Amino acid sequence: MTPKVRHVPDIRYRELLGYRPLELDLYLPEGDEPRPVIVYVHGGGWQRGSRRDPPPLLDADFYDGMAAQGFAVAAIDYRLSGEARFPAPLDDVRDAVGWVRDQGAAYALDAERVFLWGDSAGGHLALLAALTGCGVRAAVAWFPVTDLAGMPSDLVSAGGAADLGPDSREARLLGAPAASVPDLAREASPVAHAFAGAPPILLLHGTVDDLVPAAQSIRLAEALGRAGASVELELVPGATHFWKGASDVPAIIRRSIEFLRAQA
């Protein structure tokens, strides 16, 4: 029998004057004992998407499936690039983690066992938060951007199209093309924040991803390895972005859950 999951929607975790209230949805496993918590950060190129949208090609019960494995899930919204520039979305992710720690006891959330997980742009934000001191136990990132300045050349090498203009995803996030604001692009790149004491990180990336090339995850794994941090990298043969072409997506989900369980 599949364990029951309780859904608590529309919890406000942050209010900023002049912006829409930021909300999260909780997916809670059965039981009253404190549960480890996954803060899930959605993708969408920093410019679209919602906490209600699991990654494309995955079932609508993606979050329920995590909760059925014994993890509470906080699926969060954050400010998109049409609303605010970097570091606004990173600040929002950090605040969501802070809400889990400060307010989560009312929902049996374990403040000492908080994890981050994100896909694509959400993976980028999850990694940045994990690597810049938000104090989570571990992080999982699926096909994340890790080096904004390196994206154009990586895209060309992967057979994709590099957009160097002011309307690219990266430029909308930063307020200008990465090449025009190198210091800001570096600050916004997880690869620049690798350090020995980083929380354990699992990176999963498709080998033929031409939207966010696998070179992005490889580069971060190498940087974390050089720093002496704990990192695992798995490249999924034949998979493009959002796991299209992957032979066994459920196995990728299981691998991610098992990694976090080992850290819990």
Element (H, E) at 85: none
**Of residues 57 and 132, which shows the higher confidence score?**
132
* Residue 2: per-residue pLDDT: 61
Class of domain 5-263: alpha beta
Chain segment 163-187, per-residue pLDDT in tens: 888 999 999 999 999 999 999 999 9
Region 65-82: what's the mean pLDDT? 97
Q: What is the pTM of this model?
A: 0.97
**Of residues 226 and 56, which shows the higher confidence score?**
226
Cα separation of 157 and 221, whole Å? 19
Cα separation of 10 and 25, whole Å? 6
Asked if the model's pLDDT at residue 40 lies above 80, the reply is: yes
Cα separation of 107 and 34, whole Å? 8
Element (H, E) at 118: strand 109-119
Asked if the model's pLDDT at residue 46 lies above 60, the reply is: yes
Chain segment 230-249, per-residue pLDDT in tens: 999 999 999 999 999 999 99
* Residue 161: per-residue pLDDT: 83
Cα separation of 75 and 39, whole Å? 6
Region 145-155: what's the mean pLDDT? 97
What is the band of 105 on the pLDDT scale with cuts at 50, 70, 90?
very high
Q: Max CA-CA distance within the chain? A: 55
Asked if the model's pLDDT at residue 56 lies above 90, the reply is: no
Q: Where are the domains of the chain?
A: 5-263
Helix/strand/coil percent split, the chain, to 5: 35, 20, 40
Region 179-204: what's the mean pLDDT? 98
